[in-house]
């Protein structure tokens, strides 16, 4: 199966999963994660209708973005170091991985210098000590309030990474917990609009959608051999 066919198949699976998510009333955004993917396969994916691409590293993104057509939106889906923020705000349409106030403030500082509003997601760690990045659930309310007060950041939702497992059903509680956190934060902050819930990857995106995801980040199922 070629890349175009894989994209079509994934979109069909997304639509089937949406039918099992009665509370999900928005389109699901498919972000193709291009970590380690060469330009030829990248262009094939774009020609196959993939308009949103995700990168884990700023340097790798810089080497690709200048070689692809305009109209593609790029997402920062990996851990963002503060010393890469200046480049990141110029490269990416949406930063999924803001997980601390210090990082948010670094983005605010650089964005203010160029007069740009930067959409971001708060990355939440639901795995505890086994996950290296992400804000704790207990700190989420504080961070939402602080990030929302920054003039040049637009807090647009939440993101999480579930544990890697062969059984996607084991990830369901993590996705459900992020959905519940989103709802709780919105109740506490009536003016808050957490538009995106970014969760689910190649192995578990269907379960994630059933639990409310409207952004899925898929690499292997598009560009891999599986």
In the chain, the N- to C-terminal Cα span, in Å, equals 10
| pLDDT reported for residue 226 | 41
Q: Which two tokens stand for residue 21?
A: 């998510």
Alpha carbon distance 187, 152 (integer Å): 24
Question: What integer pLDDT is reported at residue 140 of this predicted model?
Answer: 96
**Which pLDDT does position 9 carry in this prediction?**
96
Which residue ranges of the chain lie beneath pLDDT 70? 69, 130, 225-226
As a dihedral over the C-alpha atoms of residue 15, residue 134, residue 143, residue 183, rounded to 10 degrees, the angle is 30
> What is this structure's pTM?
0.95
Q: Burial-class residue 83 by CB neighbours within 10 Å (0-12, 13-18, 19+).
A: exposed
Q: Tell me which CATH code domain 3-223 carries.
A: 3.20.20.10
CB-side exposure of 204: number of CA atoms within 13 Å?
24
* Residue whose pair of structure tokens reads 């308009």 in the numeric block: 51
What integer pLDDT is reported at residue 225 of this predicted model?
53
Predicted confidence at residue 133, as pLDDT, reads: 87
Q: For residue 118, give the nearest of 81, 92, 87, 84 by alpha carbon.
A: 92
Q: CA–CA separation, 85 vs 106, rounded Å?
A: 7
């Amino acid at each position: 199966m070629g890349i175009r066919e894989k994209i079509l198949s994934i979109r069909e699976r997304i639509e089937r999963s949406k039918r099992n998510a009665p509370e999900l009333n928005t389109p699901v955004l498919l972000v193709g994660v291009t970590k380690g993917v060469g330009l030829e396969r990248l262009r094939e994916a774009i020609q196959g209708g993939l308009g949103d691409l995700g990168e884990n590293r700023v340097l790798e993104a810089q080497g690709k973005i200048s070689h692809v057509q305009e109209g593609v939106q790029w997402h920062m889906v990996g851990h963002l170091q503060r010393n890469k923020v200046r480049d990141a705000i110029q490269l990416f349409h949406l930063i999924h991985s803001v997980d601390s106030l210090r990082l948010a403030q670094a983005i605010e500082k650089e964005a203010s210098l160029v007069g740009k509003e930067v959409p971001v997601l708060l990355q939440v760690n639901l795995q505890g000590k086994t996950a290296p990045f992400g804000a704790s659930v207990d700190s989420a309310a504080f961070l939402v309030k602080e990030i929302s007060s920054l003039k040049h950041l637009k807090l647009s939702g939440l993101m999480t990474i579930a544990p890697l497992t062969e059984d996607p059903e084991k990830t369901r509680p993590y996705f459900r917990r992020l959905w519940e956190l989103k709802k709780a934060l919105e109740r506490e902050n009536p003016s808050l609009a957490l538009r995106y819930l970014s969760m689910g990857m190649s192995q578990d995106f269907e379960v994630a959608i059933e639990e409310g995801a409207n952004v899925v980040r898929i690499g292997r199922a598009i560009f891999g051999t599986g």
